[in-house]
């Protein structure tokens, strides 16, 4: 079974977010391994200075400098005006020279900061360091200034001088020692010369070998720069000082994962859970690790335990809902999302998935009600697109096109999804030729786009242009060998439309290995075995797929295999069940007619 376009849209959106589970459920594994300090200024990635006029920002400074008792007022004003005008005209070199001159004249912290950022953007480390040193001299309690000076000193090889500024970051600003160290780790991890950064950190903690926070920060930096041995050695010392510190345990698990020792990481986490069963963060970390490893059943079990411990944990509740949805536990998924709606937590996301569930269970009317309640968040555009597709499914083609026209398509990703939705509306109208031409035109705007190629391949097959469908899918796999959707679709096409059964089965198995819980892939696997004459394995997989997702096409396949296996009553039962929810599904009707005429 090929994954349908509306599912592809959802998968595409989730992929953009990180995975098939939302960022709060699966993509924060590493972020749990350390406290979250204030983000340091990343001078390596400083953007161009804002184009707003500098004069309003520095009006008090200019007023003071321009007063009669200051002989430098006119000159300072001239440099600032020239710098600002040059910056707005793209002459950053002229702007920098004049900002630096203004900094030298005024010795003002605000002007020095602006000059520093312009110099960093221009990659002029020498001028940046001069300006930054004036900045920190005039505003010695500013931790951002100390961080920028430290980074520039490291970059210019003056590591010993950098240490005094890092000491100020660790000890100053009222952050607390732990957060101070993590701020330094975050700063140093952004330096291009990773070994130099690690060497500076070694010097910083050299007199703190009995400080768990210092050792942990060093271990975390070593982990980030890829020196896992140093990271593990530092963590061992840290655990001696604080044996039950869970942050260190989580970092140790991440190091094991980064080294490819996933089973060892899971074993470590399971061991910790036996003695810290009530630790919410530990269990959440473990559950996310299981999601990362696509161990979805085990992950769902952990989220279930977590929700018993903390029923109002919104991230866990949302993750539990998504996992239940992925696993075909639609009643449980609905319960989780309804809880979020009632609690007014992530309501927009919850309404979107309640709409998805309604499409699979109750039909378009309920789904449309849910999509109408999505008024913001990540799924607002997707809800509008699904609304248009459902309108088309109900025969409201003009209304569907109007719905899509109202969507702002300035964003390329949104434009792509609208292209696909427009094609699906044409498909619903059975204008397959129009849909094929639409996707071909869209590919002219977005050449070689995998999603558009996939959509065109599905349409080409409906037009019996199998060679085009196969070539489009092969093109996708050539660029993206692990594209699960394309692997499954090509495999299904080959076993369903050609005699290349072995190649098709091999492709489906590759997709199944990556996503063993996907009903469409399991259906394809069952159909491949059926086409090869292995009815026993075919039934096993098709029954599993239908158990996950009561889809009409899966029902058509399962019923056919039951019929040819001699279980005609079972086949009729499956078909009747599918007809009650989708009485006009053409593939299902064709199969029933073929076997019961």
pLDDT value at 597 more than 90 = no
In the chain, what are the domain boundaries?
A: 39-139, 143-243
User: In angstroms, rounded to a whole number, what is the distance separating the alpha carbons of residues 377 and 353?
Assistant: 13
How many other C-beta atoms lie within 10 A of the C-beta of residue 69? 6
| Residue 288 contacts residue 318 (beta carbons within 8 Å) | no
**HEC profile of 66-108:** CCCCCCCHHHHHHHHHHHHHHHHCCCHHHHHHHHHHHHHHHCC
User: In angstroms, rounded to a whole number, what is the distance separating the alpha carbons of residues 454 and 432?
Assistant: 15
Alpha carbon 145 to its chain centroid, in Å, reads 32
User: In angstroms, rounded to a whole number, what is the distance separating the alpha carbons of residues 508 and 524?
Assistant: 7
pLDDT tens for residues 488-522?
A: 999 999 999 999 999 999 999 999 999 998 999 99
Determine the average pLDDT of the residues in 16-30. 35
pLDDT tens for residues 184-236?
A: 898 888 888 888 889 999 999 988 889 999 999 999 999 999 999 999 999 99
| Residue 318 contacts residue 292 (beta carbons within 8 Å) | no
Is residue 174 very low, low, confident or very high in pLDDT (cuts 50, 70, 90)? low
Which residues in 391-401 are b (16+ Cβ under 10 Å) and which e?
bbbeebbeebb
pLDDT of residue 15: 33
Helices (H), 394-431: 397-405, 412-428
How many other C-beta atoms lie within 10 A of the C-beta of residue 433? 12
pLDDT value at 308 more than 90 = yes
User: In angstroms, rounded to a whole number, what is the distance separating the alpha carbons of residues 289 and 418?
Assistant: 34
Cβ neighbours for 418, distance < 8 A, ≥ 6 positions apart: 385, 404, 407, 409
Q: State the Cα angle at 374 between 372 and 377, rounded to 5°.
A: 160
Output the pTM of the full model.
Answer: 0.67
Alpha carbon 255 to its chain centroid, in Å, reads 21
pLDDT of residue 35: 38
By 3-state DSSP, what share of the chain in percent is helix, strand and coil, each rounded to 5? 75, 0, 25
Is residue 417 very low, low, confident or very high in pLDDT (cuts 50, 70, 90)? very high
User: In angstroms, rounded to a whole number, what is the distance separating the alpha carbons of residues 572 and 501?
Assistant: 28
Is residue 169 very low, low, confident or very high in pLDDT (cuts 50, 70, 90)? confident
3-state secondary structure of 38: coil
pLDDT tens for residues 63-101?
A: 554 454 544 578 888 898 999 898 888 899 999 999 999
pLDDT value at 16 more than 50 = no
Q: What is the dihedral of CA 320, 326, 328, 330, to 10 degrees?
A: 50
User: In angstroms, rounded to a whole number, what is the distance separating the alpha carbons of residues 20 and 244?
Assistant: 33
Looking at 1.10.10, 1.25.40, 1.20.120, 3.10.620, the CATH number of the domain 143-243 comes to 1.25.40
User: In angstroms, rounded to a whole number, what is the distance separating the alpha carbons of residues 238 and 231?
Assistant: 10
Is residue 44 very low, low, confident or very high in pLDDT (cuts 50, 70, 90)? very low
User: In angstroms, rounded to a whole number, what is the distance separating the alpha carbons of residues 377 and 19?
Assistant: 17
Determine the average pLDDT of the residues in 425-430. 91
Determine the average pLDDT of the residues in 365-388. 93
pLDDT of residue 36: 40
More confident residue, 2 or 286: 286
3-state secondary structure of 395: coil
Is residue 56 very low, low, confident or very high in pLDDT (cuts 50, 70, 90)? very low
């Amino acid at each position: 079974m090929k994954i349908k376009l509306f599912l592809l849209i959802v998968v595409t959106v989730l992929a953009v977010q990180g995975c098939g589970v939302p960022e709060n459920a699966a993509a924060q594994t590493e972020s749990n391994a350390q406290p979250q300090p204030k983000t340091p200024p990343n001078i390596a990635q400083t953007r161009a200075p804002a184009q707003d006029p500098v004069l309003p920002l520095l009006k008090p400074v200019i007023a003071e400098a321009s007063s009669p008792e200051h002989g430098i007022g006119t000159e300072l004003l001239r440099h600032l005006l020239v710098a600002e005008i040059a910056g707005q005209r793209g002459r950053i070199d002229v702007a920098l020279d004049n900002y630096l001159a203004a900094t030298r004249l005024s010795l003002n912290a605000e002007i020095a900061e602006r000059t520093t950022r312009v110099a960093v953007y221009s990659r002029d480390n020498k001028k940046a360091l001069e300006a930054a040193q004036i900045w920190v001299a005039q505003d010695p309690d500013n931790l951002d200034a100390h961080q920028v000076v430290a980074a520039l000193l490291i970059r210019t090889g003056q590591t010993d001088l950098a240490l005094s500024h890092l000491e100020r970051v660790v000890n100053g600003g009222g952050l607390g020692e732990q957060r101070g160290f993590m701020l330094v780790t975050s700063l140093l991890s952004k330096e291009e010369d990773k070994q130099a950064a690690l060497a500076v950190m070694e010097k910083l903690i050299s007199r703190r070998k009995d400080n768990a926070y210092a050792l942990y920060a060093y271990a975390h930096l070593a982990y980030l720069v890829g020196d896992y041995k140093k990271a593990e050695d530092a963590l061992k010392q840290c655990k001696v000082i604080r044996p039950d510190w869970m942050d260190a345990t989580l970092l140790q698990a991440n190091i094991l994962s980064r080294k490819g020792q996933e089973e060892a990481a899971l074993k470590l986490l399971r061991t910790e859970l036996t003695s810290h069963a009530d630790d919410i963060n530990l269990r959440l970390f473990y559950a996310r690790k299981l999601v990362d490893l696509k161990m979805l059943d085990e992950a769902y079990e952990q989220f279930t335990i977590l929700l018993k411990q903390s029923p109002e944990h919104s991230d866990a509740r949302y993750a539990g809902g998504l996992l239940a949805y992925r696993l075909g536990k639609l009643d449980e998924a609905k319960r989780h999302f309804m809880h979020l709606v009632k609690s007014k937590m992530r309501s927009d996301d919850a309404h979107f998935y309640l709409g998805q569930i309604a499409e699979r269970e109750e039909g378009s009317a309920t789904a449309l009600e849910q999509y109408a309640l999505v008024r913001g968040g990540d799924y607002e555009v997707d809800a509008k697109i699904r609304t248009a597709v459902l309108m088309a499914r109900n025969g409201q083609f003009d209304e569907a096109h109007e719905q899509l026209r109202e969507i702002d398509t300035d964003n390329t990703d949104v434009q792509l999804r609208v292209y696909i939705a427009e094609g699906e509306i044409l498909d619903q109208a059975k204008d397959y030729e129009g849909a094929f031409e639409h996707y071909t035109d869209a590919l002219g705007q977005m050449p070689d786009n995998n999603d558009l190629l996939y959509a065109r391949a599905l349409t080409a097959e409906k037009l019996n242009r199998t060679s085009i469908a196969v070539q489009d899918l092969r093109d996708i796999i050539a660029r993206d060998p692990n594209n699960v959707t394309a692997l499954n679709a090509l495999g299904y096409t080959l076993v369903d439309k050609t005699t290349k059964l072995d190649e098709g089965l091999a492709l489906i198995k590759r997709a199944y290995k990556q996503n063993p819980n996907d009903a469409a892939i399991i259906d394809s696997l069952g159909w491949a075995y059926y086409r090869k004459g292995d009815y026993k394995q075919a039934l096993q997989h098709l029954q599993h797929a239908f158990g996950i997702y009561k889809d009409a096409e899966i029902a058509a396949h399962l019923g056919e295999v039951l019929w040819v296996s001699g279980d005609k009553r079972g086949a009729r039962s499956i078909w009747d069940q599918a007809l009650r929810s989708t009485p006009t599904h053409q593939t299902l009707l064709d199969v029933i007619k073929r076997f019961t005429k």
